[in-house]
Amino acid sequence: GESVGLHLPTLSVQEGDNSIINCAYSNSASDYFIWYKQESGKGPQFIIDIRSNMDKRQGQRVTVLLNKTVKHLSLQIAATQPGDSAVYFCAERSGGSYIPTFGRGTSLIVHP
């Protein structure tokens, strides 16, 4: 069935480096994408979102890139800090549904 998946279950980076977390989706009807950060024992926290009429969106230290041609989504974190250590989930939603579908998640580990 249609699904959202992540390529890398664990990503280890050094403090100060840039991090890139990837997400592939298969539903060509997906038109809204969200990245969440989940710290241990807590609920997911919204980071940034993007609609399908855009290919890039920037926030504070984060950038989301959307490539609809290859159905790929990425989250770039600039100057990664130890506080960025968490599990990151992408979620997608198609226009015909209001229910988001979550990817598997990537654990980001930032070494000081």
106 binds other proteins (CB under 8 A): no
Could you tell me where the DSSP H helices lie in the chain? none
100 binds other proteins (CB under 8 A): yes
Rounded to a whole number of angstroms, the minimum distance from the CB of residue 61 to other proteins is 18
Rounded to a whole number of angstroms, the minimum distance from the CB of residue 42 to other proteins is 6
Nearer to other proteins, 14 or 58 (CB): 58
CA distance 107 to 8: 8
C-alpha separations of 15 from 19, 21, 53, 73, 79 in Å: 10, 16, 33, 23, 7
Nearer to other proteins, 96 or 112 (CB): 96
52 binds other proteins (CB under 8 A): no
The string over 68-80, giving b where at least 16 C-beta atoms fall within 10 Å of a residue's C-beta and e elsewhere, is eeebebbbbbeeb
- Token pair belonging to 32: 């809204």
Binding characters for other proteins, 8-47, by CB under 8 A (x = yes) = --------------------------x-x----xxxxxx-
Q: Are 78 and 62 in contact (CB under 8 A)?
A: yes
Binding site for other proteins (CB under 8 A): 34, 36, 41-46, 49, 89, 91, 98-100, 102-105, 107
